[in-house]
Amino acid sequence: MRTALAGRRLTAAVVGEAPEAAWEEHVQRAAHPVAYPALRSARNRPVVRVPRIGVVVSDAALAREVLLDPDHFSKVGPGAPSDLWTPVLGPSVLLNMEGAEHAALRRALGPLFSPRAVRRLVAADGAGDTDGAGVLPDLTRRLADGETVDFAAAVSAQAGAVICGMVGLPPTDDAVRSSMAAAQTITGMVRLHRHGLTRSQVTQARAVLERLTAPARAAYRAGDSATVPGRMRDLGLSEREAMGAVGAFVLTGTETIQSFVPRLVAIAHDTGWTARLLADDAQLRRRAVEEGLRVTVPTPAMLRSVRGPASVGGVPVAAGDRVVIATVNCCRAAGGFDPDRPVDPAVRHLWFGAGPHFCLGMPLAVAQVDAVLDALAAAASDGRVPVVGRRRAAHGVLVPAYRSLKLSMRAVGGAGFPEVAA
């Protein structure tokens, strides 16, 4: 009874909207019950001041203008990402840097995201093995054998294996769980309506991050080039720069993957796109993945601090004002999931940023997505596709996500309906 009622409530909430809209709305509100409704309330105005939030930009073209103008809109300053991350990660990470120092660090880190380096990290959990070891080969086997799996948990484990690769840990089950829990403890503290963490939260976050990056520090000092920290040392990064970069990638990158892939599969299920998503057509998959990124918006908001008198879409701003780019409004303005729809150039890849701060880790994110989809495609045979069953949204997370999402294989056009739960 409860699941049936929950399903009716979700459907009723978005009558007349796209098929996937009900669950996406639920996932967003579960993560940010205060900030998300505030941002969405501003979606029909290009620029508007929202109390406790800042100057909210909901137009993609204006958002791109702000991102491409670091002279007036900075990641460093009141209300910017530096307020959140500098107390935890230190001053020398890409999240809280501008200008020549930012460009130099970005160049130094670039080789870590070459195609070869990315493949090496993604294979950390055995994704490329042929002996069945690793999270993704196990996912393929279990689905092909007819089991129902928690897909959200499997993707979380795969992302955790990448964390282990970054910090120099072997990806054992205990290490993966510990790494993911540590990262989520820190990111779960962040709330858009607060400009920074409290003193006690900073203390807790530093302690958690110190435990998380201890293996990375040891790998850096040992000069182990088989690890990411060791390669950072080879690239000329100082220990402080390397530890800051490891912490930043762990905190901002892994939750994105953990959030996106289950939501993409759920959207494909809700819109009848699953078979096409997993078809042997790289171009079609890429369109579907990018459209999924547009709809789910891995970075629902981006923050900038105003450096001096300026204007955003005709709205005057002053030094110290906080600009909130409501990426969720900019990207979702085009409507529901439709990979066949032409992409507005102003929106394309906006969820990864623009200009000097365009996401350096995008190649790693795309590689992880492909690895998981390859694992699902390998399980699909004899006309079967993955079918979403019971799902639950995650609460108290930075990036909206499913806490659990049950997946099983079923013949295309098979009878039965997925079970849902709020």
Reported confidence tier of residue 422, pLDDT bands at 50, 70, 90: very low
**Mean pLDDT for all residues in the chain:** 83
Q: What is the pLDDT of residue 278?
A: 94
Q: What is the pLDDT of residue 421?
A: 44
Q: What is the pLDDT of residue 270?
A: 95
pLDDT at 391 over 50: yes
146 contacts 408 by C-beta, under 8 angstroms = yes
Nearest to 416 by CA among 275, 276, 269, 277: 269
- The per-residue pLDDT for range 13-44, each reduced to its tens digit, is 444 466 688 999 999 999 889 888 888 999 99
Contacts of 202 (CB under 8 A, 6+ apart): 87, 88
- The per-residue pLDDT for range 208-250, each reduced to its tens digit, is 888 878 888 888 899 888 788 888 898 888 888 888 888 877 7
Q: What is the pLDDT of residue 191?
A: 67
Reported confidence tier of residue 7, pLDDT bands at 50, 70, 90: very low
Q: Between 74 and 244, whose confidence is greater?
A: 74
Reported confidence tier of residue 305, pLDDT bands at 50, 70, 90: very high
Contacts of 94 (CB under 8 A, 6+ apart): 102, 105, 106, 109, 245, 248, 357, 360
Reported confidence tier of residue 141, pLDDT bands at 50, 70, 90: very high
pLDDT at 131 over 60: no
- The per-residue pLDDT for range 51-69, each reduced to its tens digit, is 878 899 999 999 999 999 9
Contacts of 156 (CB under 8 A, 6+ apart): 180, 258
User: Structurally, what CATH architecture does the domain formed by 2-411 represent?
Assistant: Orthogonal Bundle (1.10)
Q: What is the pLDDT of residue 275?
A: 93
Q: What is the pLDDT of residue 67?
A: 95
